[in-house]
Amino acid sequence: MRVHAETRPPELGALRHACRFCLLHDLCCPMNLGPCDLEQLQSVVRRSAPLPAGRLLFRAGDRFTAIYALRSGCIKSFSLDAGGHETVHSFHLRGELLGFDAVYPDTHRCNALVLEASSVCVIPYRDVVKLSVDFPSLHGQVLRLMSREFSKQLMCGEGSGGTQRTAAFLLNVYERLSRPGSVEFDFRLPMSREDISNYLGMSPETLSRLLARLQRKRMIAVDRRHIRLLDPSRLKLIAIGVDC
């Protein structure tokens, strides 16, 4: 059930090669390290077996042991209140980190559920701290990545109207999914309408209607989970609160 039990022993050569193309290269392999340091650094990273959709990466209340780097797939972190209402705190996409929520109280405060088959690297937190001492450049890097993860959350919570939050969400996911320099405005939402509505704080029906309205106004094209941004600049205006 737990991921840690499924980790493979690191095959250093293959691993180093894999890391070279990882989006988290900057975390694992800061530029100014020698090849020897690099090996030591990568020796702490365990690549987990592929996680199928529906798997729980960790639960609220679990002891904090590691940071997870998402190589591919999508994971949501969420919590449930006593009334059964689910609040989605964040969606984690390819190239992003999760687990930082537990650094302070030493215990995870939310659950992490795999939405799309994912592959993650497990980075024991103990080692992160230990290595930060040996490699000072890593220290600032960890702080930056942690800050980035948290500030990601601030983006979509803003906005009074549902339309504003929805537009902000679509743009946010698009930016995080698209390769830099891409000219395509197509992408596939890796999460269900219900997950999105729980994230945005509205009912799934309302979200469905808002998407339909944006489509009627020729700003997006929706086909199930496939989204195409037809008028990104006007969407941007809506997202920042200009009513048009």
Partner DNA sequence: CGGATGCTTGAAGCTGCTCAAGTGAAGTGG
Partner DNA sequence: CCACTTCACTTGAGCAGCTTCAAGCATCCG
Residues that bind a second copy (CB under 8 A): 79, 81-85, 87, 89, 100-105, 109, 129, 132-133, 136, 139-140, 142-148, 150-151, 153-154, 157-160, 164, 201, 237, 240-243
Q: Smallest distance from the beta carbon of 221 to DNA, in angstroms?
A: 11
Residue 24 to residue 107: CA distance in whole angstroms? 24
Compose the 74-113 pattern: x for residues touching DNA by CB under 7 A, - for all others: ----------------------------------------
Query: 107 and 133 in contact (C-beta within 8 Å)?
Result: no
How many other β-carbons are positioned within 10 Å of the β-carbon of residue 133?
A: 9
Backbone angles phi, psi at 238, to 5 degrees: -60, -40
Amino acid at site 73:
G
Sole binder of DNA in the list 136, 140, 161, 241 (CB under 7 A): 161
> Considering beta carbons, is residue 29 or 211 the nearer one to DNA?
211
Q: Give the interface segment with DNA, choosing from 22-30, 62-70, 92-100, 198-206 (CB under 7 A).
A: 198-206
Spacing of C-alpha 200 from chain mean position: 16
Q: Smallest distance from the beta carbon of 201 to DNA, in angstroms?
A: 7
Residue 93 to residue 190: CA distance in whole angstroms? 9
Query: 112 and 58 in contact (C-beta within 8 Å)?
Result: yes
192 near DNA, judged by CB under 7 A: yes
141 near DNA, judged by CB under 7 A: no
Size of site (CB under 7 A) for DNA = 22
194 near DNA, judged by CB under 7 A: yes
Residue 21 to residue 28: CA distance in whole angstroms? 11
Residue 78 to residue 187: CA distance in whole angstroms? 23
Contact residues: DNA, CB under 7 A: 160-163, 192-194, 201-212, 222, 224-225
